[in-house]
Structure 1
Amino acid sequence: MSNNIQEKIQEELQAARNACDTSGASSSECAAAWDAVEELQAEASHQRVGGPKKTSLEAYCDANPEADECRVYED
């Protein structure tokens, strides 16, 4: 299963790069694509350690909740 998630991460990384190249680095498409990468990386990390662990972004946002990178949008 771990190998499968690594393949999916690689696919999402490529999709994120393509989205940013096509739509621009500050586009919502680019941000959403990188969010998908982050989520998969977090899942892979959880599977490795067997429990929840904060990503570097989560730790940063805990310390800097007002930062642009930490904004949360709700539908």
Structure 2
Amino acid sequence: MRITADTDRCIGAGQCVLTAADLFDQDEDGIVALLTDSVDSAADVELARQAEHLCPAAALRVTAADEGTTADATEGLRGA
């Protein structure tokens, strides 16, 4: 799964960092900074999806790496 962040939309609320500090950080202005743009484990996919859901600015997207479209919310958990 790929994570993308729209830094122009980010308002610096920090919900992503509070949810998944191993995946997200904030720059000196509080704007989201990705620590990785790809997640594979079911746990990381779930955290990335939670951060995407909690982002008040809708600045985060979690998509299927090979499709480039938003994936089903349970895709990363199937077969786990």
TM-score range relative to shorter protein: 0.3 to 0.5
Task: Please report the TM-score for the alignment, with normalisation by the length of structure 2.
Answer: 0.32
More helix by percentage:
1
Q: Which has the higher contact order (CA 8 A, sep 6+)?
A: 2
Higher gyration radius (CA): 1
Task: Please report the TM-score for the alignment, with normalisation by the length of structure 1.
Answer: 0.34
